[in-house]
Each structure stands twice: as structure tokens, then as C-alpha cells.
A and B are shown apart, each in its own frame.
Chain A
Amino acid sequence: MGLITPSSTGNDAEQKPLVPRVTSLEGKHIGLYDNGKPAAEPLLTAVQEKLAQRYPDATFEWYHVEHLNQIKSDDEQESVVDWAENVDIGIGAIGDCGSCTKFLAWGIELIEDAGTPGVGLIDEGFELDYQSNAVERGRPLRYKKTPVRCETTDLDRVREEVSNEVVDGIEEELTRSLNDKERAEQVAQ
């Protein structure tokens, strides 16, 4: 029986490679990308504090998206790319709701577009959401799950939740070498 499909034929996104990782965070100029969600700034602040302890020579530079939806505009996107070109690595936050997880994936993609390795920090409940938005963009964008949950803005609490394990994981995503899929090389089926 012939059925007429109700779904879109879809735009199969072209598979694109990730930017090669760095060997270490030592002495790096680290970008902190705040996607405009209330929990993003305290989370990145706690991450910055931990990294500054581990790497006293590292320097930091922030980018704040003022309103979440602003990332939809071409001007904002260009400005993220410009900013990301001047940092060695980019750490973005936070994916803790539907739109913000999507826009975080977009932000990490822009960081990668600038030739800078990026990682997105997400609420652990939003892993599939982040992954599927990355699929849609054609890149297995890297991420690190954190126990920091939606709308937690109390900095002292966030400091506790950003454990050594979380910081280790962020480093791992920024330094672990790319696999075949991430290099977007054709893998024999």
C-alpha cells in the first residue's frame, strides 16, 4: 500500500569534523561562553575558579549572550565567532532547558567554526537533547554532564557541585584526541 509520508524529507546535515583538541590547559587563554541562562554565569564562575587553581598561568575571557534567543541573530553569531577566534579553548554553559540546550549546542558549534575546540556543560537530564541538536548540526559536539540543575544560581552551592570529577571531565573533553567519527572520516560500514 502506498503511503504518502507526513514527515519532511529533511535536510541531511553534512558531517563536519571537530577541531583538534589541545594537549593541556596549561597557560591557555580560556573562553567562557555564557548562553544567557541564569545558571550559566555561576556555573562558569565556579569552573573558572577551579581551573585557575589548577593552572595559575591560564587566563580567561568571557562572552555573555544577553538574552537567550539573541543567538538566533547573524550579528550575534558573528560576534561569537570573532570572540572565539581569540581564545585557545571554549567552555560553554548551560544546557538546562529545551531552548537553552539547543542554543548551547549552537554556541559550541560557533566556537568550533572559529577553529577553537569547545565543550558544552549540561544538566545531566538534557544529554539526549544536546546530542540530537548536535546531530542536527552535523557534528558530534562535545559536552560534559554536571550535577548543576536548572535555575540553581546560588554560587556557594554551585561551587560544591562543581567537583574535581566535573573539572577532570571538562579537561578530558578538551584534550582527548578525536576519534574517526569526530574527524568526520568515512568509516567502513
Chain B
Amino acid sequence: MAHHQPREDSISTVSRSLYRQGLTDGLPVIPPTDERVGKMLRGTDKPRDHVLGRLGNDDSPITVEQLASNAVMAGCLPTSMPILEAGIRALADPSSNSIQFSVSTGGWAYQWVLNGSVLDDFGVAAGSGPFGRNTRVSRATARALGIAYRNTTKIYPGEKDMGVMANPLKFSLFLAENETTSPWEPYHVTHGFDEGESTITLGGPNSFIQWESGADSPEAILGGMIENTPPSMVGGEQQGGDFDQTILHVLSSEDLETLAEAGLTKRGVKEYVSENSYIPIEEFQKGVLWDDALDDYHGKVDSRQVPQISGPEYVKLVAGGRSESQSNVVIGPSIGGPVTKKIEFPDEWGSLVTEYAVEG
């Protein structure tokens, strides 16, 4: 059979050539032509050469144009640009610790949480699961930020990215909070933003555990949150206070309601979880904390037990599924952030959203 000779600029040829250079995740990409990047830039009012942040070991700059090129490749629409720009600011924030979780053996994922009115603008507030409400937006956005980070910092798997297993969630862990049916204030409001603002939050966890509470009492739900947090997830201060290690719980609508009806606040849940997280000392993952985390409990005699989570500030809560269910998720431990950045929209946002509406 004659070998089919593809056009030089076909999507398959370009995808493979960019893959060879380490510029993609292996899946097909839309070739980032001048024309397409030009169109992507409609999503921002910033000039092409504006530096959004500096990333990686070398503080390599990432410009609006480069970000737009990655966004085209990943399959984003121009309306993703404001989210992506805020995401880059989160990655560039030293408190995100993004460089560490990008090179570490732990196989970390970039965990993104979206909040605010932007959820409606994108139609990501509708549909089922918070991890898959509008896959075109959530998958492409997480992917664009993942490849933009890699392409800017030039960190490759097995080279400087030493994840032993790596992570199938690495460029796809994107979560839209279910603000509408949650009994509590949204995540971004808890972290100091106005309800009317839209934000994106970055964390760096490596494990993802789904569990079904099947519970009819608040104690059983809280107990399940603790029981399903394996000892590999420790919550506390790291490296002499250089960063915090946190654990995120995504709770189902039904379980949230049960907790709220029992009079529990978000803060109350976090306090309960940390106060009841004591585990036998031999199960404590000493290796996670390099800075003698156990000292406070060591006298001349070893403690019998230590808290797996050393305070409510190391527990994060997000409202999950809208449907009637008791499926919950524990994600952690995040070894960076979480950092939350406000999403800034271009002047023509309203008309752009209408033009590029994505059917979920």
C-alpha cells in the first residue's frame, strides 16, 4: 500500500513534530499558527509581549503570546485567556511551590479550583460532576496551564521532572466548585475574595480518593473524611515553615447538607477533622516532614500518637456534586499553596462569552 504523505502542516504532522521536541503531552494539539494565536489574543487586553510571570529554576519569563500559543495547542477558546493568565500568576507565586511539585519524585498534579461568576459564563456550573461538568473547558484549561508550565521551565519527565510514577491527573485535575447548592460560603470568599469576584486556585496534591459516605449522621461523615485520608497525607507546616502541606475535601451536596443541618460551620468541620486525626506514631509518615515535626511530642519518651493534621488551617473544603449522592473526594497532600488569584476580564468580555459559548 502506498504510504500516505501528509501535508506538512496537517494537525497530525505538527502534533508529532511538537511531541518529539517535548512541547506536548503526547495527545494531538491544534497547530499554534500566527492566525490562531492572533485570535486567541482576543481574550486579553494585554500586549503580546507582556510578561505574566517567571517560572521554574531559571525564572524563565512567560509572555501573553507564549501563553496564547500553549492555549491554542491545548484546544482552548479565547475566553479561556483570563483564567489562564490568573493561573500563570498562581504558578509564578513562590508560595505555590510549583517548582518543587513539578520536579519532585512524588508525582504531583496541578490542582485547579474555579470559583465565582466565571462558572456561569462558561456553563461549567451546569451538568454533573465537578471534575467533568464541561470537559471542553476544564480539560483544555488544565492542559494549557500544564504544558505552558513545562514549555516555559523546560522540565521533562525522567530528566528534571523526577516523578517516579508521575500522575494521570497531572494536567487534568480541574474542579469547579458547586457554589449554588452549597450551604456555606464559596472557597474564594473564605480565602478573602468578594463573592462577585472570580478566582482560580492552585494546589499540588498527588493522590485522589473517592469514597461513599452512606452516612446519615454528621459524625459518620466526619469520621469518613478522616478514615479515608491515608497516612501518606499529612497536613502541617513543612520545611521550617517554608510552605504548608494541606488536604482538600470535596463534599457531596447531601453530606454537606447533613453537616450544615447539624449546625456545623466550615471552620467547625476543619477543627473536628484536625482534632480527631490522631494516629499511632508508627503510622506517621516521618519522611514527609523533614523538619522534626515530632519534636513537640517528643520528650524523653516518645508520644504514642500524633495528629496527622496539625490544625484546621491545613484542611480545605470545596462543595462538590449537585446531584443527590454521597460521593466525596479527598485530594492531597498539597505540597504547595494553595494560592488563589483573581481573574481579570478584558473590556469586551460579555460579547466574547456570547460569541464563544461552549455547549457542555
The reply to whether the CB of A68 lies closer than 8 angstroms to some CB of chain B is yes
Instruction: Identify which of A7, A8, A98 contacts B103 (C-beta below 8 A).
Output: A98
CB distance from B212 to the nearest CB of A (A): 34
CB distance from B76 to the nearest CB of A (A): 12
The reply to whether the CB of B9 lies closer than 8 angstroms to some CB of chain A is yes
A133 touches B57 (CB 8 A): yes
Selected interface stretch from A124-132, A154-162, A167-175: A124-132
B160 touches A11 (CB 8 A): no
Contact with A along B21-53 (1 / 0, CB 8 A): 001000000011110010000000000000000
A69 touches B242 (CB 8 A): yes
Interface residues in A84-107 (C-beta closer than 8 Å to B) = 97-99, 101-102
A98 touches B65 (CB 8 A): no
B151 touches A7 (CB 8 A): yes
Chain A residues with CB under 8 A of B31: 1, 3
Chain A residues with CB under 8 A of B32: 3-6
B154 touches A10 (CB 8 A): yes
The reply to whether the CB of B60 lies closer than 8 angstroms to some CB of chain A is yes
Quick one: closest B residue to A37, CB to CB? Answer: B290
The reply to whether the CB of A66 lies closer than 8 angstroms to some CB of chain B is yes
A54 CA / B182 CA spacing, docked (Å): 69
A136 CA / B33 CA spacing, docked (Å): 29
A11 CA / B55 CA spacing, docked (Å): 12
Instruction: Identify which of B23, B57, B58, B159 contacts A128 (C-beta below 8 A).
Output: B159
Contact with B along A1-45 (1 / 0, CB 8 A): 111111110110100000000000000000000001110000000
The reply to whether the CB of B221 lies closer than 8 angstroms to some CB of chain A is no
A129 CA / B184 CA spacing, docked (Å): 45
Given contacts A5-B66, A68-B239, A11 and B34 within 8 Å (CB-CB): no
Given contacts A6-B70, A133-B57, A99 and B104 within 8 Å (CB-CB): yes
The reply to whether the CB of B244 lies closer than 8 angstroms to some CB of chain A is no
B57 touches A98 (CB 8 A): no
A37 CA / B104 CA spacing, docked (Å): 13
A2 CA / B14 CA spacing, docked (Å): 11
Chain A residues with CB under 8 A of B291: 66-67
Chain B residues with CB under 8 A of A69: 100, 239, 242-243
A97 touches B162 (CB 8 A): yes
Q: Which of A5, A70, A126, A133 has the most CB of B within 10 A?
A: A5
A136 touches B57 (CB 8 A): yes
Chain A residues with CB under 8 A of B33: 1-4
CB distance from A101 to the nearest CB of B (A): 7
A11 CA / B66 CA spacing, docked (Å): 15
B158 touches A4 (CB 8 A): no
Instruction: Identify which of A6, A13, A67 contacts B240 (C-beta below 8 A).
Output: A67
The reply to whether the CB of A151 lies closer than 8 angstroms to some CB of chain B is yes
A133 CA / B163 CA spacing, docked (Å): 16
A66 CA / B68 CA spacing, docked (Å): 41
Given contacts A4-B69, A38-B287, A66-B291, A99 and B148 within 8 Å (CB-CB): no
B37 touches A66 (CB 8 A): no
A38 CA / B292 CA spacing, docked (Å): 11
Instruction: Identify which of B57, B69, B243 contacts A6 (C-beta below 8 A).
Output: B69
The reply to whether the CB of A150 lies closer than 8 angstroms to some CB of chain B is yes
Identify 10 new A-B residue pairs, CB closer than 8 A, beyond the known A3-B32, A151-B287.
A1-B14, A3-B34, A4-B65, A6-B18, A67-B291, A69-B100, A69-B239, A70-B242, A129-B159, A150-B105
23 CB < 8 A contacts A-B: A1-B8, A2-B34, A3-B14, A3-B33, A4-B32, A4-B34, A4-B65, A4-B68, A6-B151, A7-B151, A8-B61, A8-B62, A38-B290, A67-B239, A67-B240, A68-B239, A68-B290, A70-B242, A97-B162, A99-B104, A102-B57, A129-B159, A150-B105
5 closest cross-chain pairs (CB), A and B:
A98-B103, A98-B162, A8-B60, A67-B239, A1-B9
